[in-house]
């Protein structure tokens, strides 16, 4: 899964959760949390002009 998360009003951070299932239960979950970053200049040709995802919700 891909998620956005913010703790105590801090800036939004990106997360990726990898889940392993056994039957209908989660057997193992690994969560990675990271800051966003701009693409390298050499990737300019593949960069989208518009945001692909909607912006994150405002912080409370």
Question: What does the pLDDT look like over 20-40, one tens digit per residue?
Answer: 999 999 999 999 999 877 778
CB 12 within 8 A of CB 6: yes
Confidence of residue 60 (pLDDT cuts 50, 70, 90): low
Q: What is the mean pLDDT of residues 42-57?
A: 78
Q: How far is it, in rounded angstroms, from Cα 5 to Cα 59?
A: 10
| C-alpha atoms less than 13 angstroms from C-alpha of 2 in its C-beta half-sphere | 4
Query: Which two three-digit tokens encode residue 56?
Result: 């994150």
Q: How far is it, in rounded angstroms, from Cα 40 to Cα 51?
A: 17
């Amino acid at each position: 899964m891909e998620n956005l998360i913010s703790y105590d009003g801090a800036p939004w951070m990106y997360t990726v959760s990898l889940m392993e299932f056994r039957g209908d239960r989660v057997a193992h979950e690994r969560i990675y949390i990271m800051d966003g970053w701009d693409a390298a200049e050499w990737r300019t040709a593949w960069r989208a002009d518009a945001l692909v995802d909607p912006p994150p919700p405002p912080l409370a």
